[in-house]
Amino acid sequence: MYIMFWLKHKYKKVDVFSGRPNTIGSLRPLFLGGRQPKDIGGIYTTKAEAQKVTEGIYRKFNIKR
């Protein structure tokens, strides 16, 4: 599964979408570090889906990749 997080002013681009699949074990440190369930922008089954949505977020906020 691939998880896309909403962009926050203190996060970097890679914090929106890392390009790597997420597991329950990889999510635990994120939430211990301060992420909240409301920060999740979407959960996708394929990397292509997640990248498409992430590119839209980057365009919306004028972030260059």
Q: Where are the domains of the chain?
A: 2-60
Residue type, 16: V
Closest CA to 20 of 41, 42, 40, 50: 50
pTM flag (> 0.85): no
Specify the 3-state DSSP secondary structure of 1. Answer: coil
Q: What are phi and psi of 13, to 5 degrees?
A: -60, -40
- In tens, the pLDDT along 7-60 reads 766 555 556 677 888 888 888 888 888 888 888 888 899 989 988 888 887 787
- Determine how many CB atoms are found less than 10 A away from the CB of residue 46: 11
